[in-house]
Structure 1
Amino acid sequence: MTHNYRNILCIRLDNMGDLLMSSPAIAALKETFGAKITVLTSAMAVGVANLIDEIDEVMVYNVPWVKTNEHDKSEAFYSLVEQIRERQFDAAVIFTVYSQSPLPAAMLTYLAGIPVCVGYCRENPYQLINHWVPDKEPYEFIRHQVRRDLDLVSAIGAKTASEHLRLNVPDINEFLLEQKLREAGVNEQQPWLILHPGVSEPKREYPVERWIEAGRRVIDELGYQLLITGAASEKSLAEEIAYGIGTGAFPVAGLFNLNEFIVLVARSPILVSVNTGTIHIAAALGVPTVVLYALTNPQHTPWQVPCKVLPFEVPVEAQSRNEVIVHVNKYFSAQQIPMPCVDDVLNAVKELLAGELQHPVEIQAIYEQ
């Protein structure tokens, strides 16, 4: 069957890391159909959406069925339906994590009169998703999120020549960036790398005392300065870790806007981070990454970039009540995966700096090392 999708709505309603992982699939739609691509996403992801070439237009709405910093009022939902209807899309593609339901987003496309809706679903969605791909994850297998999204669009014939994440390095005021680094105390003549300890959920945190010890050893044994990065809300955490490390560590959380932060990541020889959107920025930029990886979403490891994944279990009392995630947690709880020690972190940094680590084998990187 020949399709003529010239105006496609891609729905990716969560955070910037999720949108970056969907970018190869979005590129496949663009390359295959030559379509205008509009992305409906959250306010938390709009910054990276504007840096992906394959996206022609961005619509922003914070839905109440996805965890974001805030959600828009119900009145705005009806306005959004009309805005979507006015654009006369040929098709909509709903990108989801396997623990999410596509049905609220599908109802949105149905009300807006989009004739073709593509998405995963466990139950038969009938006319809400009329190009339905039965969702077998995670009960039969687990794929990387990028592979999951690529497989979804392949169901309507979309392919891409490159499966790399998409993200442009933005143009910024270089003088202002350098000034901020100097004012923070960073020596421009000495090498530095990034530690990114902040995360939105406490269950994904790596202990502060281990960040401090790891940071001291990176400085003492490898001679790198450390930028302790994060959002403005993570300033206290960055300061606590930097002051604990001592000379050579600089708390810069909240000093940089998103575009400046992306440039910093692009310049860092490696990134050491918890599993958050920052690791997907690094993957899109080809920056080797050490990930202190709480096993909340095991399909979200760095994609197609040299990395070391250091997994650890989420405490039982902090685990999600989502029954799909509960099913996955049973596997990892049986493995008894401990918190990575400081030696693990330091050795991973050394191996990446020496170029000794290559791309992981997608999701198997989590529990086959």
Structure 2
Amino acid sequence: MEKEWHACRRILCIRPDNIGDLLMSTPAIKALKQTFDCHITVLVSSMGAAVAPEIPEIDEVIVCDVPWVQTNGVTHPAQFTELADRLKKEAFDAAVIFTVYSQNPMPSILLAYLAEIPLRLAYCRENPYHLLTHWIPDEEPYTYIRHQVVRDLNLVARVGAVVKESRFSLQVREDLWPIVLHKLQLLGLQPDQPWAILHPEVSEQKRKYAMADWVKAGREIVAQGECQLLITGKCNEVEASAMRHEIGGHTFSAAGVFNLQELIVLIRHCSLLISVNTGTIHIASAVQTPVLVLYALTNPQHTPWNVTSEVLYFDVPESMQSKNEVVRYVYQSFARQELPLATPGRIAERALYMLERSCAISGSFQQPHTLP
């Protein structure tokens, strides 16, 4: 069964989600690339496409906001047929469908089938019969829950694709550091002094952490640690400016200041990232920057991977909780556990501890740190 995969020269990876989802699939994509020495094309959403050029193992990108995944775009039914025709013309040898356990893989599986891709690999709860050539019955989350990275690596391992190390693949454009440094200096931040990033922005409102609690935590960090705080986010400049004003001290707003490539460099150079469960925590994992996560009770398999980190949890308002029965099952199990809560006091306490540890390891705030 593995022998036919070793003959593959063009593999399509279907991962039409957000930036963080694509980053978590990079170890598995790397395994495919290294094992089969093949051309890798990834089907991504318009959101995920932003980070795709920074992933070395990806040779080509096809961008489409498919209707079975929550994205910013709206897809017309005709686009599905057009996409299948385009994929058919690409003459792929195999397709690998990456999914979260709460997603229905069938639309992506059907897409690969209609594109007449000979080998098709995916997890699926139902028997897909001829829609998949390589079917792995999906036991998550009812039997166990794995980290998304492990889930994806186990998927490709079924066809013989393995990788020696499972760190995320992400290019850091260090040549952009002088530009990033200049922008920081214009804001008034001193990069040679302790500084951390606060990233309150979310892609889904149910993951939003209360502004008032961000402010309380920020004030305590600034007061006790004499630390500079940099508030990042790509669009909500009014909220970031208000937060900066409320926290006071050496706090700076960089909302809308950095593009994605610059943000990657920025996170690489900071001492600590404090963020909600969003793409930034996976960027921090990729560049090995310590991260403190305020984690909404949503997807427990999406915590930071292979990096110094701590996770504090907060609940999702009942009105915003998912109607997906799989997600609800996990939430009910998750909510009953004794979890460290993301209170402002605990956020400040853990942030100050992690900053102290990061400073001790790096010895400098001017150069990127190196963790053991």
Q: Give CA deviations for 1:130-175 in whole Å, capped at 9, x if unaligned.
A: 2110000000000000000001101111100111111010255444
Q: Is the 8 A contact 2:148 2:301 kept in 1?
A: yes
Return the offset for 1:127.
Answer: 1.5
Task: Tell me which of 158, 162, 179 is aligned to 1:159.
Answer: 162
Q: Is the 8 A contact 1:313 1:338 kept in 2?
A: no
Supply the AA of the counterpart residue of 2:93.
D
Distance in 1 (alpha carbons) for counterparts of 2:176 and 2:150: 36
Query: Paired residue for 2:9?
Result: 6
Matching residue's letter, 1:243: H
Unaligned runs of 5+ in 2: 359-372
CA drift of 1:77 comes to: 2.5
Question: Structure 2 residue aligned with 1:56, among 59, 64, 80?
Answer: 59
Q: Which amino acid aligns with 1:154?
A: A
For 1:225 and 1:299, the matched residues in 2 are separated by 31
Ranges in structure 1 where 5+ consecutive residues have no aligned partner = 357-369
CA distance in 1, matches of 2:257, 2:176: 14
| Structure 1 vs Structure 2 CA RMSD | 1.6
1:35: which partner in 2? 38
Within a 5 Å distance, the mapping from 1:224-263 to structure 2 comes to: 224-232=227-235, 234-263=236-265
Aligned to 1:313: 315
Q: 2:294 maps to which residue?
A: 292
Structure 2 contact 98–152 (Cα < 8 Å) conserved: yes
Distance 1:304 1:215, change over 3 A: same
TM-score (norm 2): 0.91
Instruction: Show the counterpart of 1:109.
Output: 112
The answer on whether the counterparts of 1:172 and 1:259 sit within 8 Å (CA) in structure 2 is no
Structure 2 counterpart SS, 1:70: coil
TM-score (norm 1): 0.92
2:212 matched to 1:209? yes
Partner of 2:281: 279
Contact 2:198 2:275 (8 Å CA) reproduced: yes
Q: Contact (CA 8 Å) 1:312, 1:337: kept in 2 or not? A: no
Deviation at 1:71, TM superposition (A): 2.6
CA distance in 2, matches of 1:180, 1:351: 28
Alignment of 1:123-202 (within 5 A): 123-170=126-173, 173-202=176-205
Change in CA separation of 1:248 and 1:297 when aligned onto 2, cut-off 3 Å? same
Counterpart AA for 2:318: V
1:62-92: CA deviation from partner (whole Å, max 9, x where unpaired): 1111111113333332222222111111100
Distance 1:350 1:336 in 2: 23
Q: Secondary structure at the residue paired with 2:274?
A: strand
After superposition, what is the alpha-carbon deviation per residue over 1:110-135, rounded to whole angstroms, capped at 9, x for unaligned?
11110111000000011112211000
Amino acid across the alignment from 1:120: Y
Pick from 11, 22, 26 the counterpart of residue 23 of structure 1.
26
Structure 2 counterparts to residues 38-117 of structure 1, below 5 A? 38-117=41-120
Residue in structure 2 matched with residue 122 of structure 1 by the alignment: 125
> Does the aligned pair in 1 maintain the 2:195–2:272 contact within 8 Å?
no
Question: Match for residue 328 of structure 1?
Answer: 330
Q: Which moved more, 1:202-211 or 1:29-38?
A: 202-211
Deviates more, 1:218-227 or 1:153-162: 218-227
Contact 1:313–1:332 at 8 Å: present in 2 too? no
Q: Which amino acid aligns with 2:297?
A: L
Aligned residues: 355
Q: 2:338 and 2:57 mapped to 1: Cα distance? A: 42
Contact 1:172–1:260 under 8 Å retained in 2: no
Q: Which moved more, 1:344-353 or 1:16-25?
A: 344-353
CA distances 1:282-308 after superposition (whole Å, capped 9, x unpaired): 001111100000111110000000100
Return 168-177 or 203-212, whichever deviates more.
168-177
> Which residue number corresponds to residue 355 of structure 1?
357
